[in-house]
Amino acid sequence: MQGPDILARLQERFGAAVLATHAEHGDHTLLVGLGTLLEVLRFCRDDAALQFDMLMDLTAVDYLTYPGREDTPRFEVVYHLYSVPHNHRVRIKAGVEEDAPVVPTAVPLWPIANWLEREVWDMYGLRFAEHPDLRRLLLYEQFEGHPLRKDYPVTRRQPLIGPRN
């Protein structure tokens, strides 16, 4: 299936729940609300014509200092999906508000989401509701803050931690 057809199929299925679409540089992208995100992802995986069986990547972007995005949600979670049987790709995005940074978990859909969501929690402090094991992935427990947030200064030092016993 070609990119425009994928977007058309998702738009046809979800109608007004699709907030925006674009195909910049040939990457077909769909922006949905956080409420319908899981439903959209599930449909992407299970629909016979789409069959996105691989969650290639899951990440987030902090749009705090992005010019012209003052009124939109601060964070965006970004899912890159790939379909092995159909060899096509799509990008699904959803905005996440700063004061309620909770995203539904995709672990039941793709088990790889477990680690990827842990990394997003680690780096951005976005919580994934009903995630089975939301620990930090790359950093250590005592780390203060979430370093990929735009308001985390690069030069900030972390307190030293002593040996564990």
Partner 1 sequence: MTPTPETTSATPPAAPSRHVQEIFLGEGVPESGTENLVVNLGPSHPAMHGIVRIVTELDGEQVVKTDVEIGYLHRAFEKECEIGPYNAAMPYTDRLNYVSPLINNFGFCSAVEKLLGIETTERCQYIRVILSEISRMSDHLTCVGASAMELGAFTVFLYMIKAREFLWEVIESVTGARLTISHGRVGGLKADLPTDFEAQVRRAFAETRTVLEESHKLLTSNRIFVDRMQGVGILTREEAIAYAVTGPLLRASGVPFDVRRATPYWVYDRLDFEIPVGETGDNYDRYLVRMAEMEQSMRIAEQALAQLPGGPVNVDHEGRPFALPAEYVDRGKLGKTEGLLITDIRLSPNLAGQERRHHEKVNAPDKRTVLPPKETTYGSIEGLMNHFMLIMDGFGIRPPRGEVYFPVEGANGELGFYVVSDGTDRPYRVRCRPPCLPPMAALHLMLEGGMVADIVPTFGSVNMIGGELDR
144 near partner 1, rule: CB under 8 A: no
Site for partner 1 in 117-136 (CB under 8 A): 123, 136
Amino acid identity, residue 54?
M
Site for partner 1 in 58-87 (CB under 8 A): 59, 61-62, 65-67, 78, 80, 82, 84, 87
The first and second tokens of residue 10, run together, are 């998702």
Q: What CA–CA distances, in Å, run from 67 to 41, 72, 75, 130, 148? A: 29, 11, 14, 33, 18
Q: How many other β-carbons are positioned within 10 Å of the β-carbon of residue 63? A: 17
Task: For residues 66 and 69, give the distance between their C-alpha atoms in angstroms, rounded to a whole number.
Answer: 6
29 near partner 1, rule: CB under 8 A: yes
118 touches 137 (CB < 8 A) = yes
Amino acid identity, residue 136?
R
160 near partner 1, rule: CB under 8 A: no
Residue 54 beta carbon to partner 1: minimum distance, rounded to whole angstroms: 5
Taking the CA of residue 120 as centre, how many other CA atoms within 13 Å lie in the half-sphere pointing to its CB? 29
Q: Which of 28, 36, 155 is nearest to 81 (CA)?
A: 28
Total binding residues toward partner 1, as defined by CB under 8 A:
38
31 near partner 1, rule: CB under 8 A: no
146 near partner 1, rule: CB under 8 A: no
55 near partner 1, rule: CB under 8 A: yes
**Which chain residues interact with partner 1 by CB under 8 A?**
24-27, 29, 53-57, 59, 61-62, 65-67, 78, 80, 82, 84, 87, 89, 91, 110-112, 114-116, 123, 136-140, 147-148, 154
